[in-house]
Structure 1
């Protein structure tokens, strides 16, 4: 078993590790983008040197000046990029400080909620101890339990009888002669027919033994109805006994001031919910800024794209391409050395472009995983899973599934499903199943948080208790108690 706060701490550690990975990946991509730009700048320098070696090229001076102008334009763009990046970094730092401040405030508010919940829990435990020692309360509790058991038994008998009716009555309903006489109400004061029809119906009745069959079928229909009426009466009595017990619970809680403590808890919880909403907004803003910063790392920002595209276009200038081709055709070693460097940088660019896409894909996957983990953390807190008394039954399984999520083997919904299935809550002192809470109809008790496993309702602003429910009638189509033979129990000549 692992506590809710230990689980939250594990998620926080995983978030820190994922943020480090994301930063490292962004730095690698930014380094690759910077290298690409430096390669282009080195090309420009070599083209300038190549132009100077070609004294026969009348436009060499003009070409060098053209390259210088391109470089100056790129330098200006990169300076603007650096300023924009610094501004975003400052905003991210401010957003991180704001989120940290809000998290600290949330921790303080969460402690307020915990104290309020503990006050409710302690008060309920005291009330339950007092009721345990109250003979009148214990008598009503025993009465309600006995009424519930009796009603459940009657419900089972009624359901079984209804099923028996369906099973045994099938053979009667399948005989066309019997069902013909039954529907005509033959053998009862309600039967009406002309003399000829009476004579024919009498012959059919004697042929299939209708008198005995009708009596059996009538009893088969009548017994379930009587048992159902009896079960409903006992169910109403059980409801009344339960309501009386629940009223004693509520009166005792009122006398001990528990509703006021719960109102205070709800106010503190609402304040915590508002704090969570502010944190969510701050995290969303931080994520937006991080995405904007990541665009600089990947070279997708406006300044970098302009610089790369501008310099690349200038380096594809016809005069430069002519200069490069002519340098390849001359025997001068200086030309050959410069062209060799240009060719090497061409190869380096192709290698960087090939690896860059893979790095960008990895960055996107890590960013998505980080976003999902942050969303999961928010849901865990909003659902109260980090509250005192909240725990996860199989701590090893939770740790394993968290690792699988971080490794990309499990999606966010799968991890959340595991957390919901494993989460349990138990007040420290009071018992949600005490008194009227032990009948499966909801509970007025809850240690400040309501029914076990019902923590998710806290998000809605209430205390999480399930509403008190009446017993549901067990009348089901085809339900019931099997028993007896499947035959109709009468002789027939009518084909069944």
Structure 2
């Protein structure tokens, strides 16, 4: 069973809402636990007052009660201020959640408009496709673009082979600590700098390891992939330019057939979606900051509040208090025993709540990490245009068991996102009307009215390999590649003051180009 792009995105959004709800619930539990601890401390203080009245003379009673009352009053005032801060932050969170939900609903409406327009444009292209395909100018540019795609695909394939060879054949060099030491110092090159003694010792190491023969081999192993990638990227740019010319002809044909209003409506819907996505990222980041603030307050993170509670706890832990309690335990007075039992019960309740707080704090930290990872995946999902109505996924368990496995920590965010990428396909006739290189699959299918074999494709594993999947340039998990190593190192969702952009050429129109 397959799932469509919009349905898949809706499942991710629902999972995010569930995580946020649980975060809020845990924050409330932490708040209640902190309140209980404060009240138990106050109860404990009152019980010690009563115990002092039974066992101490009036002068000592007054001193002890004064010290406890002062700490209590300070804690009570800080608790009131703390509660006000909690209420304010909770209201901010609720407001931001409502904003995110509203933006998500607006995005869904814009996607419905886009899907409708895509269908209209696809129907139009079916009517004019055969005539446009027979146009000599179009056929010539289409053939030229196909040829350049094939050249670029071959160049990229050679590049990836060279990079694989470098990683495999270069491993013995990189694993040799002596070779690595000399290589990093630039031994044998004009960049090498060392005093006479170090140079002498390095020379002995070089002779011992055969560095003079190994260095040029390793240098060539690293240099060839770099040169090949530069060449492949130039070929990709040539192919992109040729594809842009074909795009222009296809757009002109659509406009001439009366499709310009449809195309402009799609552009407007796309611009609206991108603006909404920017707003969602900004709102999510504001919510993340508010959630951290609420978690800190719920855990007693207010410095003044912590100081007040610490002062009260210290007042109840002084030597004279402990002595009073110890003496009360040694007596057989019924009233003493009752007060001591109540004090023990209050302290046990505090320990239970503190243990619960530790557990809930750990859970809250895990949830926050999962939420941010899921937000990263959601961002990549949108950036890759996987939420396009013609995007489909073969594995329906991506929003079932596999999603649950990810949320439980059974698989990493990178692995979960890779499953999405590998499962994704584009429905027949999917293409774009001039978005250029880097968009989802522009490959022609048997249902398309346009010439077979056209379109510029970015497969997952090998350039031009015909997997029919999208690999947008400059985007996706891990960023681009430089020297065979990922340069991004993680998801590309911006988490700074700037919401960034996910523009990669626009949605496909569904015109069949």
Task: Give TM-score, length-normalised by structure 2.
Answer: 0.61
Kept after mapping to 2: 8 A contact 1:269/1:461: no
Go from structure 1 to structure 2 and tell me whether the alpha carbon gap of 1:453 and 1:127 turns closer, same or farther (over 3 Å shift): farther
Matched, 1:438 2:455: no
Alignment correspondent of 2:23: 22
User: Structure 1, residues 75-99: CA drift from partner, whole Å, max 9, x if none?
Assistant: 1111111111111122222222222
Change in 2 beyond 3 A, CA 1:365/1:429 = closer
**RMSD between aligned alpha carbons?**
3.9
Q: Decide whether the 8 Å contact of 2:443 with 2:453 is kept in 1.
A: no
Which one has more relative contact order, counting CA pairs under 8 Å at least 6 apart?
1
Residues 1:139 and 1:318: Cα distance change in structure 2 (over 3 Å): closer
Q: CA deviation at 1:440?
A: 5.6
Structure 2 runs not aligned, ≥5 long: 155-238, 432-441, 458-466, 474-500, 509-513
Contact 1:85 1:293 in 2 (8 A): yes
Query: Is 1:453 paired with 2:499?
Result: no
Q: CA offset at residue 392 of structure 1?
A: 0.6
Alignment of 1:61-76 (within 5 A): 61-76=62-77
CA distance in 2 between partners of 1:337 and 1:360 (Å): 35
Q: Which residue pairs with 1:275 in the alignment?
A: 276
Q: CA deviation at 1:276?
A: 0.7
C-alpha distance in structure 2 between counterparts of 1:56 and 1:252, whole Å: 102
Runs of 5+ consecutive residues of structure 1 not aligned to the other structure:
156-238, 444-450, 466-496
Q: CA deviation at 1:105?
A: 3.0
Alignment of 1:381-392 (within 5 A): 381-392=382-393
C-alpha displacement of 1:417:
1.0
1:112-151 aligned at under 5 Å gives the runs: 112-131=113-132
Which residue does 1:34 correspond to in 2? 35
Q: Which residue does the alignment assign to 2:311? A: 310
- The Cα shift of 1:119 comes to 4.0
Check the 8 A contact 1:393/1:423 in 2, yes or no: yes
In structure 2, what is the Cα distance between the partners aligned to 1:50 and 1:353? Answer: 25
Kept in 1, the 8 Å contact 2:443–2:455? The answer is no
Equivalent-residue separation in structure 2 for 1:438 and 1:79 (angstroms): 72
* Matched residues, number: 364
Deviation per CA, 1:369-408, whole angstroms, max 9, x where unpaired?
1222233223323432222111112223553321211221
- Give 1:72 deviation, angstroms: 1.8
Give the alignment of 1:179-190 within 5 angstroms. none
| Matching residue of 1:409 | 410
* Structure 2 match to 1:478: none
C-alpha separation in 1, matches of 2:120 and 2:443:
15
Give 1:309 shift: 0.9
Q: Alpha-carbon deviation of 1:311?
A: 0.9
Q: How many angstroms does 1:355 deviate by?
A: 4.2
| CA apart distance, 1:436 | 7.3
Q: Write out aligned runs for 1:225-240 (5 A).
A: none
Q: 1:32 to 1:74 in 2, by over 3 A?
A: same
Alignment of 1:136-285 (within 5 A): 252-253=253-254, 255-256=256-257, 262=263, 265-285=266-286
* DSSP-derived class of the 1:424 partner: strand
CA displacement at 1:277 relative to structure 2? 0.7
| Aligned equivalents of 1:139, 1:36: Cα separation in 2 | 77
1:138–1:79 distance in 2 versus 1, CA, 3 Å: closer
Q: Which one has a bigger Cα radius of gyration?
A: 1
